[in-house]
Structure 1
Amino acid sequence: MRLIWLDINASYSHSSLALPALHAQLTDYQSETLVWHVVSGTINSDPSLLLLEISDFNPDIILSTAWLFNHTFILNLLGRYKRLNPSASIIIGGPEFFGENKGYLTTNRFITAVFRGEGEESFPLLVDTHFKPSFWNIIPGMCWINESGDYVDNGEALVSHFSMLKPPETSRFFSWGKHFAQIETSRGCFNSCTFCVSGGSRKVQNITPSKIRERLNFFFLKGIKEIRVLDRTFNANAERAEELLDVFNDFKGKMRFHLEIHPALLSENVRRKLAMVEPGLLHLEAGLQSLDNNVLIACKRAGSSEKSVEGVKFLVSLDKFELHVDLIAGLPFYTYAAIIEDVKFLLTLGVEEIQIELLKLLPGTKLKEDAYKYEIVYSPTPPYEVLKTSTISVNELHKVTILSKMIDIWYNNTIWRDTFKKLHQENPTFLEAFLDNVLTNNLLCNRLSQENNGILLYEFCIEYYKKAVFDVASAWVIAGFSLKKGPGKLAEPWIRGISKENNPLYNKSEEPNMFNYYYIQGENEKLWFAMDKKDKKGKPAKIYL
Structure 2
Amino acid sequence: MKFLLVGINAKYIHSNPAVYSLKAYAGEGYEKEIEIAEYTINNRLEEVLSGIYERCPDVAAFSCYIWNWNFVRELTEELHKIKPQLPIWLGGPEVSFDAEEILRACPWITGIMIGEGEETFRELLDYYKGGDSKEGSIGLEDIQGIVCRIGNRILRTEERAPMDMNRLPFLYRDRENFENRIIYYESSRGCPFRCSYCLSAIDKSVRFRDMDTVKRELQFFLDEAVAQVKFVDRTFNCSHSHAMEIWEYIHRHDNGITNFHFEIAAEKLDEEEINLLGKMRPGLVQLEIGVQSANPETLSEINRQADMGRLEKIVNSIRKGGNVHLHLDLIAGLPFEGYESFGKSFDVVYSMKPEQLQLGFLKVLKGSPMHERAQGYGIKYTSRPPYEVLCTSWLSFEEICRLKRIEEVVELYYNSSQFTHTLSVLEKSFDGAFAMFEKLAEYYKEKGYFTNNPSRVYRYEVLLEFALIYGNGEEGLYKELLTYDIYLRENMKSRPGFARNLEGYKEHFREFYNDAFRLREILPGYEEFQPRQIARMTHVEMFSYPVWESGGGAEWKMEKLPKQRMVLFDYRKRSPLTNEAEVRVVEEA
Give the TM-score normalised by structure 2: 0.83
2:196 matched to which residue of 1? 194
Structure 1 stretches of 5 or more lacking a match?
Answer: 533-538
1:3 matched to which residue of 2? 3
2:52 matched to which residue of 1? 54
Matched letter for residue 492 of structure 1: L
Return the match for 1:455 from 458, 461, 466: 461
- For 2:444 and 2:22, locate their aligned partners in 1 and report how far apart those are by CA, in whole Å: 47
Matched letter for residue 438 of structure 1: Y
Greater alpha carbon shift after TM alignment, 82-91 vs 71-80: 71-80
Return the match for 1:524 from 534, 555, 560: 560
Greater alpha carbon shift after TM alignment, 193-202 vs 339-348: 339-348
- For 1:473 and 1:277, locate their aligned partners in 2 and report how far apart those are by CA, in whole Å: 32
Q: Which digits, 9 at most, give the CA deviation of each residue in 1:55-96, with x for residues without a partner?
A: 222222211111111111122222112111111111111110
Provide closer, same or farther for how the CA distance between residues 351 and 59 of structure 1 changes in structure 2, counting only shifts above 3 A: same
**Contact 1:17/1:174, CA 8 A, preserved across alignment:** no
Greater alpha carbon shift after TM alignment, 247-256 vs 386-395: 247-256
Matched letter for residue 494 of structure 1: G
Return the match for 2:65 from 50, 64, 67: 67
The 5 A counterparts of 1:237-256 are: 237-254=239-256, 255-256=258-259
- For 2:368 and 2:338, locate their aligned partners in 1 and report how far apart those are by CA, in whole Å: 22
Q: Which digits, 9 at most, give the CA deviation of each residue in 1:329-357, with x for residues without a partner?
A: 11111222222222223333321110011
- For 1:113 and 1:487, locate their aligned partners in 2 and report how far apart those are by CA, in whole Å: 62
2:209 matched to which residue of 1? 207
1:410 matched to which residue of 2? 413
- For 1:82 and 1:239, locate their aligned partners in 2 and report how far apart those are by CA, in whole Å: 50
**Contact 2:96/2:112, CA 8 A, preserved across alignment:** no
2:260 matched to which residue of 1? 257
The 5 A counterparts of 1:422-437 are: 422-425=425-428, 427-428=430-431, 429-437=435-443
Q: Is 1:312–2:315 an aligned residue pair?
A: yes
The 5 A counterparts of 1:358-397 are: 358-397=361-400
Provide closer, same or farther for how the CA distance between residues 166 and 491 of structure 1 changes in structure 2, counting only shifts above 3 A: same
Q: Is 1:145–2:149 an aligned residue pair?
A: yes
The 5 A counterparts of 1:63-212 are: 63-130=61-128, 135-148=139-152, 150-154=153-157, 156-170=159-173, 175-178=177-180, 180-212=182-214
Q: Which digits, 9 at most, give the CA deviation of each residue in 1:95-151, with x for residues without a partner?
A: 102322222211111111122200112121111111789822222221123312x22
Matched letter for residue 118 of structure 2: E
1:351 matched to which residue of 2? 354
**Contact 1:299/1:332, CA 8 A, preserved across alignment:** yes
Q: Is 1:289–2:292 an aligned residue pair?
A: yes
**Contact 1:505/1:542, CA 8 A, preserved across alignment:** no
Q: Give, in angstroms, the shift of residue 262 of structure 1.
A: 0.6
Q: Which digits, 9 at most, give the CA deviation of each residue in 1:221-250, with x for residues without a partner?
A: 333242211111111112222222211212
Matched letter for residue 108 of structure 2: F
- For 1:3 and 1:14, locate their aligned partners in 2 and report how far apart those are by CA, in whole Å: 22
- For 1:41 and 1:441, locate their aligned partners in 2 and report how far apart those are by CA, in whole Å: 38
Greater alpha carbon shift after TM alignment, 378-387 vs 131-140: 131-140
2:47 alignment partner, SS class? helix
Greater alpha carbon shift after TM alignment, 364-373 vs 151-160: 151-160
- For 1:155 and 1:456, locate their aligned partners in 2 and report how far apart those are by CA, in whole Å: 60
Matched letter for residue 30 of structure 1: Y
Provide closer, same or farther for how the CA distance between residues 57 and 175 of structure 1 changes in structure 2, counting only shifts above 3 A: closer
1:506 alignment partner, SS class? helix
2:26 alignment partner, SS class? coil
Provide closer, same or farther for how the CA distance between residues 290 and 512 of structure 1 changes in structure 2, counting only shifts above 3 A: closer
- For 1:531 and 1:310, locate their aligned partners in 2 and report how far apart those are by CA, in whole Å: 33
Identity %: 24
1:472 matched to which residue of 2? 482
Provide closer, same or farther for how the CA distance between residues 334 and 48 of structure 1 changes in structure 2, counting only shifts above 3 A: same
**What RMSD in Å do the two structures reach over aligned CA positions?**
2.9
2:52 alignment partner, SS class? helix
Matched letter for residue 440 of structure 2: F
- For 1:123 and 1:518, locate their aligned partners in 2 and report how far apart those are by CA, in whole Å: 62
Q: Give, in angstroms, the shift of residue 389 of structure 1.
A: 0.5
Provide closer, same or farther for how the CA distance between residues 375 and 227 of structure 1 changes in structure 2, counting only shifts above 3 A: same
Matched letter for residue 15 of structure 2: S
- For 1:207 and 1:183, locate their aligned partners in 2 and report how far apart those are by CA, in whole Å: 11
Greater alpha carbon shift after TM alignment, 285-294 vs 194-203: 194-203
- For 1:443 and 1:3, locate their aligned partners in 2 and report how far apart those are by CA, in whole Å: 48
1:536 matched to which residue of 2? none
Provide closer, same or farther for how the CA distance between residues 21 and 494 of structure 1 changes in structure 2, counting only shifts above 3 A: same
- For 1:483 and 1:155, locate their aligned partners in 2 and report how far apart those are by CA, in whole Å: 67
Q: Give, in angstroms, the shift of residue 446 of structure 1.
A: 4.7
2:574 matched to which residue of 1? none
1:12 matched to which residue of 2? 12
Q: Give, in angstroms, the shift of residue 392 of structure 1.
A: 0.7
1:332 matched to which residue of 2? 335
Q: Which digits, 9 at most, give the CA deviation of each residue in 1:292-331, with x for residues without a partner?
A: 1111111112323333223222222222211000111111
1 or 2, which has the higher helix percentage?
Answer: 2
Q: Give, in angstroms, the shift of residue 214 of structure 1.
A: 0.8
Q: Give, in angstroms, the shift of residue 520 of structure 1.
A: 5.9
Greater alpha carbon shift after TM alignment, 67-76 vs 372-381: 67-76
**Contact 1:290/1:305, CA 8 A, preserved across alignment:** no
